């Protein structure tokens, strides 16, 4: 499995937001980024979250052309966390640190704790980079999708 050479420590925090100056599509530029990608799904995120409640989320990505894939999420509030695996988190951001193989399916489990602020709207930006595992950014594709919950 290949490593990321441009950012050996992982993609910049916040790269899941397609409007960010440095987003996943900035470095993985073989194709135009797909915005509102229906190939990305999030299970477990309620339409209305309970303040302070922790939710188990499953991020899934379906793409027949991808050999490897990795993800990043960025929430406007709340905290992500996970126990073990090739995932790291920093407050309201979480990302894979090692690409998943297509043979294993593209699915990641994580937890998100809603903020303690009733009446707030929380936006969660999800980015998935699908790669061909050729050790270059060429031929990789960036996918973005935004989800929302209210407290």
Give the chain's length: 151
Q: Quick one: pLDDT at residue 26?
A: 66
Tens of pLDDT, residue by residue, the chain (151 residues): 344 444 556 677 888 887 777 767 666 667 778 799 999 999 999 999 999 999 999 999 998 889 999 999 999 999 999 877 789 999 999 999 888 888 877 999 999 999 998 989 999 999 999 988 887 767 888 999 999 999 9
Give first-to-last CA distance, the chain, whole Å.
40
Domain boundaries, the chain: 24-150
State the number of CA atoms in the 13 A half-sphere of 17 facing the CB.
Answer: 14
- Could you name the CATH architecture of 24-150? Sandwich (2.60)
Is residue 69 classed exposed, middle or buried when 0-12, 13-18 and 19+ CB atoms within 10 A define those classes? buried
Of the candidates 112, 107, 119, 21, which has an alpha carbon nearest to the alpha carbon of residue 75? 112
Q: Quick one: pLDDT at residue 2?
A: 40
pTM greater than the 0.85 cutoff: yes
């Amino acid at each position: 499995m290949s490593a990321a050479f441009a950012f050996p420590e992982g993609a910049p925090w916040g790269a899941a937001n397609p409007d960010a100056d440095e987003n996943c599509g900035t470095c993985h530029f073989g194709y135009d980024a797909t915005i509102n990608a229906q190939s990305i799904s999030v299970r477990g995120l309620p339409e209305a979250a309970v303040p302070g409640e922790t939710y188990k989320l499953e991020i899934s990505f379906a793409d027949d052309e991808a050999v490897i894939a990795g993800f990043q999420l960025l929430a406007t509030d709340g905290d992500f966390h996970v126990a073990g695996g090739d995932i790291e988190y920093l407050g309201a951001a979480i990302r894979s640190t090692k690409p998943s193989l297509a043979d294993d399916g593209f699915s990641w489990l994580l937890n998100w704790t809603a903020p303690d602020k009733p009446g707030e709207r929380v936006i969660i930006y999800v980015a998935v980079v699908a790669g061909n595992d050729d050790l270059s950014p060429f031929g990789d594709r960036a996918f973005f999708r935004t989800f929302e919950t209210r407290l």
